[in-house]
């Protein structure tokens, strides 16, 4: 056992953050800790690394185990260059290199078995620390975080606060602790860097514990998930997707057990009422009363915190078919960032993705008239009403209450309507009388969504809408937007969110702007697929078109396809049922293979339906 804590508890004043927590790390496990904002995930990491301590609990750790946490690794000296700062983690390699050099000089005049054995031991330790490749490793990790080779020789003090945090992150990764603690590691990273970090974490030779709201990152990096809920921790084996299925199964089993228990209680209470006043049955009734008193009552509500906002964005007007036409629109500030051509029709859902500083938010701001264009034009369609969400505007401030903030923007609505809308976004009872300054980041985002809901726009432009939302909040937003009948244009780094909503992808990068009429998974498949070789041979002679089928042949073909559809639908249902089989939801690799098989069968079924429809036309 690498690390173990039992019966751990932490309190803020008299209020428990978590209690009686059991947590362990075996070998090089990749562990995710998930839970709502404020559930204590970061506090738990800080207790693990020693920044603070558990108020109760027993901690045991293998001797010599090192723990690395980003908050511990702040940059101490702004006057050092980045190279000097990062080279500090290689001190042991330099010591071993010095010993090897000294022994090599000694071997010129002295050759002995003792010296050769000593040199072999030092060289083995040197190689184990990647001593021959430390410099290329350092440069690879550094440049993957958006820096250039020239940045290596700049002093730390010349970088912004966010850049310093990324440099500290690089140094933490290079130090390779036995337990690597990552708290929201994908924040402020672009997609390419996140994908690289996923591979790094997967192949990291030691244990990793990650707290993150990035579901796709957790899905691809974790093999164990701890769910921190109501101050308790539950361990699930498998990745994030496997955890979701297992947890839902647990909830359903718990609900079934609760319903069975309620039936038992009702039956026992009926027996008690029937026999408690009969002399020959009074003892029997008393025994059942004591049995009920001792019974550990199940409460299904304690199994899952399902609080999430529930709202549907409904446009006031349907709007024209043509929603947005963008022609040679160059956006930027002092210099151009990108030039975009884009045409959107009603119902389109376009995700804007790309590296940092490529103009994604600037493009949206230009369409909203907040940033003047450098050149080009854009035009909104007939009766198109725009609703805009901005990650910075969403961080409201002021002394107004939540109720006043929303009501002042929509003064024609009555109090009941305003409070109903706020209730949908989890502002209930006295929450509506909180001042905006007192709200958390997630609460301010929810208040901004309440404003957006009341606007009833048919074209939503959203700039990083999932920032500051926990996983249940993201899922609630996805559900709300999934039923939206209007048009969506949104910027996001959240790949899971994009894959759930986007029907098209607009990529902004150093090569310009490129539009793909593909879902996110289709886009990624296209990026990962090798390019088709250019056809240089003489094209093949075109085959004659197929002659029209006879009516009888057509009927036979239709019947054959219908039989295939019936068989395939049965197979699809059979495979879907396996999702709830313990063999699969306890093994995320098997679950992933099953999901791929289900997708393949589903695609075949779609193709059969297309054939069937063509034959019936």
Per residue in 129-171, pLDDT (tens digit) is: 888 889 999 999 999 888 899 999 999 999 887 788 889 899 9
pLDDT score of 539 more than 60: no
Query: Residue 586's pLDDT band (boundaries 50, 70, 90)?
Result: low
Contact 456, 319 (CB under 8 A): no
Mean pLDDT of 75-98: 90
Of the chain, the percentage scoring pLDDT greater than 70 comes to 91
Residue 554 pLDDT exceeds 80 = no
* Mean pLDDT taken over the chain: 85
pLDDT value at position 46? 92
The whole-number pLDDT of residue 345 equals 95
Residue in 597, 591, 598 with CA at minimum distance from that of residue 241: 591
Lowest mean pLDDT of 8-17, 175-184, 259-268, 565-574, name the range.
565-574
Residues 6+ apart with CB under 8 A from 207: 2, 3, 25, 27, 28, 29, 30, 31, 178, 179, 180
pTM, two decimal places: 0.72
Rounded CA separation 528/217 (Å)? 18
Q: 380 burial class (0-12, 13-18, 19+ CB within 10 angstroms)? A: middle
Q: What is the DSSP letter of 192?
A: H
Residue 186 has pLDDT above 70, yes or no: yes
SS3 for 331? Answer: strand
Question: For 200-209, 237-246, 504-513, 538-547, which range has the lowest pLDDT when averaged over its residues?
Answer: 538-547
- The answer to whether residue 478 scores a pLDDT higher than 50 is yes
pLDDT at 9 over 70: yes
pLDDT for residue 333 is more than 50:
yes
Which residue would you say has higher pLDDT here, 552 or 428?
428
Let me know if 507 is exposed, middle or buried by CB neighbors in 10 A (0-12, 13-18, 19+).
Answer: buried
- Identify whether the C-beta of residue 185 lies closer than 8 Å to the C-beta of residue 169: yes
State yes or no: pLDDT of 529 exceeds 80: no
What is the residue extent of each domain of the chain?
A: 48-242, 247-302, 322-528, 551-616
Residues 571, 542: Cα–Cα separation, whole Å: 38
d(CA 452, CA 313): 8
Phi/psi region, residue 50 (left: phi>0; alpha: psi -120 to 50; beta: rest), is: left
Confidence of residue 530 (pLDDT cuts 50, 70, 90): low
pLDDT the model gives residue 548:
55
298 in Cβ contact with 341 (< 8 Å): no
Residues 6 or more apart whose CB falls under 8 angstroms from that of 454 comprise 406, 409, 410, 413, 421
Count of residues in the chain = 617
What pLDDT does 113 receive? 87
Segment 221-227 shows an average pLDDT of 95
Query: 251: which 2 tokens?
Result: 């909830």
Q: Return the CATH architecture of domain 322-528.
A: 3-Layer(aba) Sandwich (3.40)
Higher-pLDDT residue of 468, 616: 468
Least confident segment among 3-17, 362-376, 600-614: 600-614
Rounded Cα distance, 425 and 448, in Å: 10
Of 34-48, 189-203, 335-349, 517-531, the poorest mean pLDDT is in: 517-531
pLDDT band at 307, cuts 50/70/90?
Answer: low
pLDDT at 472: 87
The answer to whether 217 and 193 are in contact (CB under 8 A) is no
Whether 487 shows a pLDDT value over 90: the answer reads yes
Higher pLDDT pick, 510 / 531: 510
Query: Which range has the worst mean pLDDT, 56-65, 121-130, 581-590?
Result: 581-590
| Equal CATH topology for 48-242 and 322-528 | yes
Q: What are residue 459's phi and psi, to 5 degrees?
A: -135, 110
Where are any strands of DSSP class E within 116-214? 179-183, 207-211
Query: Residue 534 — pLDDT band, cuts 50, 70, 90?
Result: very low
Q: List Cβ neighbours of 364 (8 Å cut-off, separation of 6 or more).
A: 352, 388, 390, 461, 463, 489, 491
State yes or no: pLDDT of 100 exceeds 60.
yes
Ranking 50-64, 445-459, 529-543 by mean pLDDT, the lowest is 529-543
Phi, psi (rounded to 5 degrees) for 81: -75, 165
Task: For 235-272, write each residue's pLDDT tens digit.
Answer: 999 999 999 999 888 888 888 888 888 888 888 888 88
| The CATH number fitting domain 48-242, selected from 3.90.1150.10, 1.20.1090.10, 3.40.50.300, 3.30.420.40 | 3.40.50.300
Rounded to a whole number, what is the distance in angstroms from the first to the last CA of the chain?
66
Q: Are 348 and 324 in contact (CB under 8 A)?
A: no
Per-residue confidence (pLDDT) for residue 532, from 0 to 100? 45
Measure the CA–CA gap between 214 and 209, rounded to whole angstroms: 14
- From the number of C-beta atoms within 10 Å of its C-beta (0-12, 13-18, 19+), residue 545 rates as exposed
| pLDDT, tens only, 292-305 | 888 877 776 554 55
């Amino acid at each position: 056992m690498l690390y173990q804590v039992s019966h751990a508890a932490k309190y803020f004043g008299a209020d428990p953050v978590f209690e009686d927590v059991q947590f362990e790390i075996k070998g090089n496990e990749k562990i995710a800790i998930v839970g709502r904002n404020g559930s204590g995930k970061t506090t738990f990491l800080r207790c693990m690394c020693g920044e603070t301590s558990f108020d109760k609990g027993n901690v045991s750790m293998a001797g010599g185990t090192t723990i690395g946490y980003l908050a511990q690794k702040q940059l101490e000296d702004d006057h050092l260059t980045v190279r000097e700062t990062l080279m500090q983690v290689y001190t042991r390699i330099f010591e071993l290199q010095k010993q090897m050099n000294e022994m090599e000089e000694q071997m010129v005049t002295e050759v002995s078995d003792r010296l050769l054995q000593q040199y072999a031991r030092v060289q083995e330790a040197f190689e184990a620390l990647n001593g021959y490749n430390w410099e290329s490793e350092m440069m690879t990790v550094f440049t993957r975080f958006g820096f250039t080779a020239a940045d290596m020789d700049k002093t730390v003090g010349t970088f912004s606060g966010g850049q310093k945090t990324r440099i500290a992150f690089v140094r933490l990764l290079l130090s390779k602790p036995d337990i690597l603690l990552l708290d929201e590691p994908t924040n402020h990273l672009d997609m390419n860097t996140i994908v690289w970090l996923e591979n790094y974490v997967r192949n990291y030779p030691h244990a990793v514990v990650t707290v993150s709201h990035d579901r796709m990152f957790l899905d691809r990096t974790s093999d164990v998930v701890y769910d921190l809920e109501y101050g308790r921790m539950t361990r699930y084996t498998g990745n994030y997707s496997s955890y979701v299925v297992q947890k839902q199964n647990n909830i359903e089993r718990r609900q079934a057990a609760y319903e069975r228990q309620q039936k038992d209680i009702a039956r026992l209470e009926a027996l008690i009422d029937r026999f408690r006043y009969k002399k020959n049955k009074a003892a029997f009734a008393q025994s059942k009363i004591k049995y009920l008193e001792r019974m550990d009552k199940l409460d299904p509500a304690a199994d899952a915190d399902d609080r999430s906002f529930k709202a549907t964005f409904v446009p006031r007007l349907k709007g024209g078919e043509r929603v947005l036409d963008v022609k040679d629109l160059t956006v930027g500030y002092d210099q151009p960032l990108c030039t975009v051509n884009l045409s959107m029709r009603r119902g389109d859902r376009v995700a804007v993705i790309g590296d940092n500083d490529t103009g994604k938010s600037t493009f949206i701001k230009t369409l909203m008239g907040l940033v003047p264009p450098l050149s080009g034009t854009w035009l909104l369609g007939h009766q198109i009403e725009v609703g805009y969400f901005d990650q910075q505007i969403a961080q409201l401030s002021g002394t107004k209450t939540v109720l006043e903030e929303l009501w002042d923007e929509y003064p024609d609505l009555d109090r009941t309507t305003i409070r109903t809308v706020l209730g949908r976004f989890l502002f209930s009872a006295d929450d509506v009388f909180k001042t905006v300054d007192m709200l958390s980041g997630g609460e301010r985002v929810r208040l901004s969504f309440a404003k957006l809901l009341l606007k009833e726009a048919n074209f939503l432009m959203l700039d990083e809408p999932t920032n500051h939302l926990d996983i249940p909040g993201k899922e609630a937003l996805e559900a709300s937007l999934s039923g939206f009948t209007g048009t969506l244009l949104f910027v996001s780094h959240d790949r899971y969110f994009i894959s759930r909503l986007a029907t098209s992808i607009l990529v902004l990068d150093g090569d310009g702007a490129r539009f793909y009429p593909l879902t996110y998974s289709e886009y990624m498949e296209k990026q990962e697929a090798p390019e088709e070789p250019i056809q240089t041979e003489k094209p093949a002679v075109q085959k004659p078109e197929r002659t029209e089928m006879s009516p009888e042949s057509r009927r036979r073909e239709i019947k054959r396809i219908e039989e295939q559809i019936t068989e395939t639908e049965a197979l699809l249902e059979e495979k879907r049922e396996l999702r709830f089989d313990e063999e699969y939801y306890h093994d995320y690799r098997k679950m992933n293979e099953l999901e791929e098989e289900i997708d393949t069968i589903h695609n075949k079924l779609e193709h059969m339906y297309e054939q069937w429809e063509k034959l019936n036309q």
